[in-house]
Amino acid sequence: MSEVFTKSMARNIYFGGSVFFFLLFLALTYDTNRDLPNRDNRGAINEQVSLGKRVWEENNCIGCHTLLGEGAYFAPELGNVYTRFGNSTDAIVGFIKSRPAEGIPGRRSMPQFNLSDEELEAVAAFLKYSSEINTANWPPNVQG
């Protein structure tokens, strides 16, 4: 015997599914908002980190680099640059300062932005802050 699929059955499935997925959405939103203070490193945000983010945006660093998986793939990911440079903001500042004004012939290279010492320290502080966000290992480190 085949059962007839009625309009009321379809309506009940539609509304029941809508309610279920809306409740699931609310539960996941609540869980995410509850966990964010433990993961987003908001306690480390200060004036220097904020200035570093402004410098990052004004110079369109994301136009070449990725940060936590977002941005262009022309230059290296910078979400872990603080760790890669031996947990040293001085090393980051030194690297940025050492960029030649004309670049390196025949190679992709970062331009010299002629940032002030305050701006360089701020960018390094911003990159340090970014590296300390608990990203649950995102982006994955895939070796090709």
Who wins on pLDDT, 99 or 28? 28
Residues 6+ apart with CB under 8 A from 101: 111, 112
Range of the domain at 61: 43-144
Position 14 pLDDT exceeds 90: yes
pLDDT attached to residue 103: 64
CA-to-CA distance for 123 and 129, rounded, in angstroms? 10
* Claim to verify: residue 64 and residue 131 sit in the same structural domain: yes
Average pLDDT, stretch 35-63? 94
Token pair belonging to 5: 């699929």
- What digits encode the pLDDT tens for the residues 101-142? 676 677 778 888 899 999 999 999 999 999 999 888 776 765
Q: Residue 27: inside a domain, yes or no?
A: yes
* Claim to verify: residue 98 and residue 31 sit in the same structural domain: no
CA-to-CA distance for 144 and 137, rounded, in angstroms? 17
Q: Residue 1: inside a domain, yes or no?
A: no
